[in-house]
């Protein structure tokens, strides 16, 4: 599982292409305005390449492998349930 986060730096930039690229990676869940959890077998570099290709040259992207130890505040409870289920599925696989 990966956390994908981005800053699109051009004013009034269309987020649709970046969000579509993220959704095309596998099972996804938005957790914050510009942060998504993505379940995929792709490596971090490939996830970054695919998402960044949908943005502009001056946009920023961060992809981090998630293995557990997740904490947060103000995150919808359904996201926590989704995350627990995904981590259990990844461990059982």
CATH of the domain at 41: 3.30.70.240
Q: What is the pLDDT of residue 84?
A: 73
Q: What is the pLDDT of residues 23-50, one digit of tens each?
A: 999 999 998 889 999 999 999 999 999 9
**How many Cα atoms sit within 13 Å of 28 on the Cβ side?**
17
What is the residue range of 29's domain?
Answer: 2-92
Is 42 within 8 Å of 25 (Cβ atoms)? yes
Nearest in space to 53 (alpha carbons), one of 28, 22, 26: 22
pLDDT of 69 strictly over 70 = no
Count of domains observed in the chain: 1
pTM (predicted TM-score): 0.77
The kind and range of the H/E element at 84 are helix 77-92
Q: Sign of the C-alpha dihedral, residues 46, 27, 74, 55? A: positive
Mean pLDDT of 59-82: 79
Q: Enumerate the β-bridge partners of residue 61.
A: 6
Phi and psi at residue 8, to the nearest 5° = -95, 120
Share of the chain above pLDDT 90, in %: 57
């Amino acid at each position: 599982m990966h956390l994908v986060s981005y800053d699109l730096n051009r004013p009034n930039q269309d987020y649709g292409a970046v969000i579509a690229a993220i959704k095309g990676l596998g099972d996804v869940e938005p957790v914050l305005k510009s942060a998504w959890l993505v379940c995929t077998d792709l490596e971090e570099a490939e996830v970054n390449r695919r998402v960044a290709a949908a943005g502009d040259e001056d946009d920023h992207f961060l992809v981090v492998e998630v293995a557990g130890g997740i904490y947060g505040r103000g995150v919808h409870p359904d996201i926590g349930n989704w995350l627990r289920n995904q981590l259990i599925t990844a461990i059982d696989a």
